[in-house]
Chains A and B, each alone.
Chain A
Amino acid sequence: MQMTRCYRMNALVRLLGVLGLVVHSVSAEERVAPGPFTDNECIACHAERDPRLVRQWREGPHAAASEVGCGSCHGDRHEDSSAKARKAQSCIGCHEGAASHSYTTSKHGVINTLGEDKQDWRQSLQPGRYRAPSCSYCHLHNGDHGNTMAPDRGPEVRQWICSGCHSPRYVREQFANAKRQLEIADLKLLEGETLIASAGEDRHGTLAKLRQNLIRHRKNVLYGVGHQSPDYQWWHGQPALDGDLIRIRDSVLQVLRRKLVSDKPEE
């Protein structure tokens, strides 16, 4: 009985909160011109209204390295600018290749693609409001403009986000397995790099190329476990790394064999 009352209270508090937000956003919406706005104009206003958000963007990779400003994700109009940025498509335009393909082919990505038209994208990125997570649901959870999936946020944040739909134990076990899978991929990377170092030379740059493959396939395992794509964990990941190791061994074998022959005293 105690528990029931507690949840009722909880629901009431949440309802009031949502009402407050609606009133707030409607009144805010009225004061803002429709646009278009430049990034500087957005920042001039939002630096006061949402200082944390602007600071997070400034300190993050988007602002610093790649000159991705407000308009890149939100467009230059004020109306529906948040809804627009929440959709996976606004990220995929830049984050192409394995980074997004591992997501779009995952179950989360598929459900998100198929349900996109039915989804109300004006809702904030919170548990219970999205059937499947889009890029922003996990990486900009609840509108946080730092990467909520970044390692320095700690495992608790990541696990909290997934727990909106999955049981705490399920999430914990999946993350623990992901860590073990990555450790295994790292062992393969280490094995390959040790082999390459043992060759001592790389005449045609073959080993350097093979090393690039190792690094790429190790990254695929990361995308695979992060985006829950079995295909990237496996076919683009682990067995691809196994293949890299075989080819590295074969190239190193040839180098060492050549050395053995040239070291042999002439008869």
Chain B
Amino acid sequence: MRYRLISWALPAIVLLAVVAGFAYVYWSKGGAGAGLYSRYWSPDPVQGYWDPANFYQSIETVEGVFEAALCIQCHEGITPGIVVDWRASRHARIDEPVTCDDCHGNNHQQLRLPTPDVCGNCHNKQHGEFRDEARYGFPSHVLAMERAVDAPHFADKPKAEVQSCVQCHSVATKCDSCHTRHLFDPAEARRPEACITCHSGPPHPDDESYFASAHGKIYLAEGKDWDWSKPLTKGNYKAPTCAYCHMDGGRHQVAQKSLWKFGLREINPHTSKNQVLRERWIELCRDCHEEKKAAQWLAELDQERKLAWRKLDKAEDMLKDLRSDELLQPAADERPDYPMGSLWPIERVGFFEGQASAFYNVSAIERDYFEMWYFDNLGAYKSAAHGNAAGVEDGHRKMAASLDRIEAKARELRHLSKDGRKVKLAPTLTELWMKGAYTDYNREHN
């Protein structure tokens, strides 16, 4: 009897839980913001320009329905730069020109900022590839905006501050990140510089690592004179560029060969799925190099990753040990809660616990690990993947130095607690982490 009850009650409970889960996710996406935490935030006024589908609202000061000729006539006086640009574009020069109203609409009170779907009306091959990139998961271009707004620190921090995030992550919501308006010249998008506005800086020095590689050096010396109107296929370019490798053949799907997933977490590079990706890389390198050589480079990258993760694991273990011995100072309940708060205050260590948002409101040793993982490690990875040996060396030297710092700090924290028990901060010291001009502002404005 009891067995029978369990046999149908248990699946029913599981089913209910799953349905409730889906319902909760659906409900949580219905707020003023966007994404999983949409009910916790509303957008900064400027966000409509970065995520038009969700937040752009047309101005209402100009009334009327206009044809392209009239748009041009007026905007030649108001914003001449964009008219000159458009005139020089292919849109203006083809037999049936693509005019202002084709992309923006013609009712001036209901104008739209073109989203990828708008561009996709004509450029359906590229748009299809771009949308289909979602199947490779993070990191990718098409999922970049979701990734940004679903980060706890995005929901937590003042919305004006995190507008800098969506400027790059808008690669998912607009096409002009690479095809700058209103020229939209593919020749421009093919050049490596088209990528560096976002692919630069400590966590992804793609620009530095590529320009310092043999490929990048050839580009810097001779690239100016190459014919950039040619498609990204074998024989057209003397050295590969960002787009040549990551969007070979013009395929709008940068994640299509993403093997090591940005170096963010450890993966097994030899699963059957990854074997397919490896073959894609080797096939591409064979445009210029021997197959054996390409396979060797991939193996070298695997080796570099193994070394990096050995160092990172060591640091992560040290932090997790300190956490289980309750020696992190201040502890999670003695500082502002993890971005976005949680039911049980806990220190987040490592990729799977949400380390990417644990770069503020944390103790010094946790920040050290964040920088080791996000800056030193990713710098080494990018250098290894782009063939910049000096950068790999530099990244690993930085990782070793970070590891030393973390080790010394861990010793210090253990020393504070001679009997191995948790050390509470003196009451006069707890305020140190809880108060401050920005900390207070952030608590009120998220």
**A: which residues have CB within 8 A of B?**
3-4, 7, 10, 105-107, 110-111, 113-115, 117, 127-131, 163-170, 173-174, 176-177, 180-181, 183-184, 187-188, 190-191, 194-195, 198, 224, 229-231, 233-239, 242-243, 245-247, 249-250, 252-253, 256-257, 260
Contacts and interface: CB of A to CB of B under 8 A. Distances in A.
Interface of B: 44-46, 49, 59, 73-74, 76-85, 158, 160-161, 163-165, 167-168, 180, 183, 188, 191, 193-194, 196-198, 200-203, 207, 224, 329, 359-360, 362-364, 367, 371, 425-426, 428-429, 432-433, 436-439, 441
Contacts of B360: 239, 242-243, 245-246
Contacts of A260: 426, 428-429
A131 B183 contact: yes
Contacts of B363: 246, 250
Contacts of A181: 160-161, 163-164
A243 B164 contact: no
A219 B346 CA distance: 34
B438 A191 contact: yes
Given A105-B197, A191-B439, A127 B167 contact: no
The B contact surface, by secondary structure, is helix
22 contacts: A107-B197, A113-B193, A127-B79, A163-B79, A164-B81, A165-B80, A165-B82, A174-B46, A174-B49, A177-B44, A180-B161, A224-B164, A230-B167, A233-B163, A233-B164, A237-B164, A242-B360, A246-B364, A246-B367, A247-B364, A249-B433, A253-B432
A110 B441 CA distance: 35
Contact of A110 (B45, B196, B224, B428): B196
Contact of A230 (B164, B188, B438): B164
A235 B438 contact: no
Nearest to B436: A191
Nearest to A188: B438
B257 to A, nearest CB: 24
Contacts of B76: 7, 128
User: For the complex, would chain A's binding face be called helix, strand, loop or mixed by DSSP majority?
Assistant: helix
A235 B439 contact: no
Given A105-B197, A169-B59, A230-B167, A190 B437 contact: yes
Contacts of B160: 177, 180-181, 183-184
Given A184-B158, A231-B198, A177 B163 contact: yes
Contact of B441 (A187, A194, A233, A238): A187
A246 B364 CA distance: 6
A125 B425 CA distance: 60
Given A177-B160, A243-B371, A187 B84 contact: no
A242 B44 CA distance: 21
B443 to A, nearest CB: 12
Nearest to A175: B46
A223 B148 CA distance: 23
B359 A114 contact: no
Contacts of B168: 230
A267 B164 CA distance: 55
Contacts of B180: 107, 111
A195 B436 contact: yes
Given A105-B200, A191-B436, 16 more contacts: A10-B77, A105-B207, A110-B196, A111-B188, A131-B84, A165-B79, A167-B59, A174-B46, A181-B163, A188-B437, A198-B432, A230-B165, A231-B200, A239-B359, A249-B433, A253-B425
